Structure 1
Amino acid sequence: MFDNLSTKLDRAFKTLKGQGSITEINVAQTIKEVRRALVDADVNYKVAKTVTDKIKDEAMGRDVLIAVSPGQLMVKIVHEELTELMGGEKQDINIKGDPAIILIAGLQGSGKTTFTGKLANYLKKQNRQVLVAACDVYRPAAIEQLKVLAGQVGVDVYTNMEEKNPVKIAQEAIAFAKQNHKKVVIIDTAGRLAVDEAMMNEIAEIKRAINPTETLFVVDSMTGQDAVNTAKTFNERINFDGVVLTKLDGDSRGGAALSIRAVVEKPIKFISTGEKMEALDLFYPDRMAQRILGMGDVISLVERAQQTFDEDEARRINQKIRKNQFNFDDFLSQLEQIKKMGDIKDLVSMIPGVGKAMKDVEIDENAFKPIEAIIKSMTKEERANPDMISGSRRNRIAKGSGTTIQQVNNLMKQFNDMRKMMRSMNKMSGKPGMMSKLKAMTGGR
């Protein structure tokens, strides 16, 4: 996400590195490169010009402190202006009402149904009773997809295969929610083209009929500036409350995220990466600006870990580590928790300095599969007591998992090394080497 933009901005700041002071000449060159980087990222040209003019005015109006280089000051100014460009502060979703009604709208293929499942999962984790309603009467596969997603996250779904009027289905779903004490209803609608007048009239009619507490426009960030133009058209018709950017893990140039707020004047409320139901984050403009500038986003990483990892489970694992009882069942449980956190490359990009260093490194999302296969090919006793796994058992495990004896031996060695390190960390917290061990266990990728 934003790899190209981050690289070009970093190149722009190098113009000021080694400079003793900020001058009109060196700032002009930097601003030119920043503007070019924004336009190349598919940011609206007028927006790019406005923001770079502000950056220039700010840069020329500030004195450089002895402890701060001109390059560092420019990064700070750009961070401030990017944050302001994307909305300044995060905007919460409105879930007031009994029930709260959330209407999902967007183009065909923008990821609305997947986002509906993710949002249901997000709200359920806040202990809210959620109902999702399938109002796409044109694509049967969308209804089946929503049923599957609802099943994955454990929420109810309302469908009426006999009814072909999405307005009536939405109204029925809301009535069902009231009868069954559901506190939030998420209405998934059919994808539509902005030029399709009949479909645009339909979504407007649905909104008038159900009077939602929140209307969210879902947009595929990979469509770049077209996403901004489409958002503008939709906003004129249904006056939505916020934007959801999907597919930010794709080959996105980032222009939609940077300019949609300025053009449409509606906040970005969520960003979505990947297909996993947990891969949904609230949109924080300041944190996104940090990630664009290669500064990482540790706060979001910690928050995602807190949402994923169970505190009781963490205490149980810690006690087993202290007693030197950590086994393969525990290790497999931890792998499952890590996978739930989302796309691995996205997680890496949140670590300051690491994202930039790893931008050209191919991270295999399937790196954990051989490890899982080996562990699941062990007997219950072997997983609980790793020390009992002899040479003949390793041979059987390799055959059962479809791996080689060398892979099994490597995993056993790395697992034993990790257990030793865990014991050492209990005695002396902060001992280095954890990251290198984890990297080794995933094949160094």
Structure 2
Amino acid sequence: MFERLSARLREAVERLRGRGRITEEDLEATLREIRRALLAADVHLEVARAFVEEVRQRALGQKVLESLTPAEIVLATVYEALKEALGGEPRLPVLKDRNLWFLVGLQGSGKTTTAAKLALYYKAKGRRPLLVAADTQRPAAREQLALLGAKVGVPVLEVGDGEAPESIRRRVEERARQEVRDLILVDTAGRLQVDEPLMEELARLKEALNPEEVLLVLDAMTGQEALAVAQAFDARVGVTGLILTKLDGDARGGAALSARRVTGRPIYFAGVSEKPEGLEPFYPDRLAGRILGMGDLASLAERVREAGLEAEAPKPAKEITLEDFLRQLQGLKRMGPLTEVLSLMPGAARVLPPGAGVDEKALRRLEAIVLSMTPEERKDPRVLNASRRRRIARGSGTTVQEVNRLVKAFEETKALMKSLERRKPRGLMGMFRR
């Protein structure tokens, strides 16, 4: 997501790089390109205009026309404006002793999946969630939530066809009291478009259940349509926060910038994959940095910690084995798709062209090759004769040539690491050694 917007914003700012003081015409030309980039990303016209005007005022306040580094100032200015447009400081719903939240949105926005993700997220934080399958309109919606609830280990209360809101409230309260549930997540009905019967149904259910939070689930790929959806739901049921889904897809980014700006409601969470664990708190500053190719070291560090990679002390090059290589490779897989990991690294956007990725299949083949080796072979690849290499190739579903390339690359990398270790300065005198 945001690849096209990122590329066009960086291109607009890069035109100023390497130049001395710029003129007002140069700044206006850059702002026009920024506005075009936002419109191409399906950002609402009024939102794009307001954003560009904010960048202009900030840039003039920073005296960019008098600066010797105009590109850096404009980049910093765009970053601050993006961060504010996306919400400024990160926010999450306030948890109380008793919490009942509504999930609303159009059919297909990902409400049901998001409800299960929220349940898993807060269950890991010590809460006792209860899922309520109140979507009686979409075929198999209740069955889907029941399956997802079983997958994440959270009970599900199913609403009956035509059940009155007062009956739903009584059953929810009784179930929550009996099982000591302190977070009730209600998956409500949706439609393919906003209509009066849908809003009337939600309004009656909201009046009966009195939720503390009404979370609008928006598909990040809907573009400007998300604006009308957000306004309609906010006007009728009072949206308190947003959840963006499918941020890992091919969305252009307009929904994230438009909905937050127009509704004034914070974006609480972002769906980053189809997996139950694929829900993350939304950090405006981190996303703004990623959009501008500045990386996201905080998210990268979190993924490293979650994968357990930072706990390992580095080994001397001579002691590194293919077993270590396998462990690191599996750790990288736990960090998520490598294309996403690369996007978190500062400057990666300038090196990788838009749409570029990592061949995940090739990495799986490397893992299969190492897994097909014996512990002795992983410890010392020098024992790999021709027959052993043929056996490894058969066991991993690869070729002998692929096995040879992996072993050769491993030995060359190890030799390079040894060379770097020898060149490493030792003590103060080593700093002056040539």
State the AA in 2 paired with 1:77.
T
**1:155 maps to what in 2?**
153
SS for the counterpart of 1:223 is coil
- Counterpart of 1:11 in structure 2 is 11
**Aligned counterpart, 1:402:** 397
Q: Deviations over 1:79-115 (max 9, x none)?
A: 12222222211111222233x2222111111112222
Residue segments in structure 1 that go unaligned for 5+ positions in a row: 431-445
Q: Classify 1:368/1:212 alpha carbon distance in 2 versus 1 (closer, same or farther; 3 Å).
A: farther
| Structure 2 residue aligned with 1:353 | 347
* Structure 2: tracts of 5 or more residues without a match: 426-434
Instruction: Indicate how the Cα distance of structure 1 residues 79 and 377 shifts in structure 2: closer, same or farther if over 3 A, else same.
Output: same
Name the residue aligned to 2:105. 106
Q: Does 1:41 align with 2:36?
A: no
Q: Which residue of 1 aligns with 2:289?
A: 290
Q: CA deviation at 1:352?
A: 0.7
* Separation in structure 2 between the aligned mates of residue 242 and residue 429 of structure 1, nearest angstrom: 52
Greater alpha carbon shift after TM alignment, 252-261 vs 397-406: 397-406
Query: In the alignment, what sits opposite 1:93?
Result: 93
Q: SS state of the match for residue 27, structure 1?
A: helix
CA contact (8 A) 1:2 1:254 kept: yes
Query: In 1, Cα distance between the equivalents of 2:32 and 2:14?
Result: 13
Deviation at 1:299? 1.0
Is the 8 Å Cα contact of residues 136 and 160 (structure 2) preserved in structure 1? no
Q: Which stretch of structure 1 is more off in the superposition, 365-374 or 165-174?
A: 165-174
User: Aligned partners of 2:407 and 2:300: how far apart in 1?
Assistant: 29
1:55 aligns with 2:49: no
Q: How far does residue 30 in structure 1 lie from its aligned partner after superposition?
A: 1.4
Number of equivalenced pairs: 422
Report the equivalent of 2:333: 339
Equivalent pairs: percent with the same residue? 42
Per-residue CA deviation, residues 160-200 of structure 1 (Å, 9 max, x unaligned), is 38665384557534532332233322222333244332222
Amino acid at match of 1:53: E
Contact kept, 8 Å, 1:34 with 1:52, in 2: the verdict is yes
Q: Report the structure number with the largest CA radius of gyration.
A: 2
> Aligned-pair distance for 1:421?
7.6
Equivalences for 1:158-237 in 2 at 5 Å?
A: 158-160=156-158, 165=163, 167=165, 168=167, 172-237=171-236
* Partner-residue secondary structure (3-state), 2:346: coil
Instruction: For 1:322 and 1:175, locate their aligned partners in 2 and report how far apart those are by CA, in whole Å.
Output: 62
For residues 364-443 of structure 1, what are the structure 2 equivalents within 5 Å? 364-377=359-372, 391-414=386-409
Is the alpha carbon distance of 1:158 and 1:406 closer, same or farther for their aligned partners in structure 2, counting shifts above 3 Å? Answer: same
TM, length-normalised to structure 1: 0.82
Q: For residue 254 of structure 1, what is the aligned residue in structure 2? A: 253
SS of the counterpart of 1:156?
coil
Distance 1:157 1:364, change over 3 A: farther
Number of the residue aligned with 1:433 = none
Aligned to 2:432: none
SS at match of 1:216: strand
Q: Displacement of 1:390 after TM fit?
A: 5.3
For the residue of structure 2 that corresponds to 1:368, the secondary structure is helix
What's the TM-score, normalizing by structure 2?
Answer: 0.84
Give the stretch that moved more between structures: 400-409 or 37-46: 400-409
Change (3 A) 1:365 1:429: farther
Distance 1:407 1:199, change over 3 A: same
Is residue 87–residue 260 contact of structure 2 (8 Å, CA) maintained in 1? yes
Equivalent residue, structure 2, for 1:434: none
Q: Note the aligned Cα RMSD (angstroms).
A: 3.3
Q: Please give the per-residue CA displacement for 1:29-86, whole angstroms capped at 9, x wherever unaligned.
A: 1111111111121111112112212222232333359985111111111112222222
Q: Given the superposition, is the C-alpha separation of residues 162 and 409 from structure 1 closer, same or farther in structure 2, using an over 3 Å criterion?
A: farther
Inter-partner Cα distance in structure 1 for 2:241 and 2:408: 51
Classify 1:193/1:64 alpha carbon distance in 2 versus 1 (closer, same or farther; 3 Å): closer
Indicate the residue corresponding to 1:29 in structure 2.
Answer: 29
Q: Which shows bigger deviation, 65-74 or 129-138? A: 65-74
TM-superposed deviation, 1:242: 0.7
AA aligned to 2:351 is A
Contact 2:2 2:252 in 1 (8 A): yes
Letter in 2 for 1:156: V
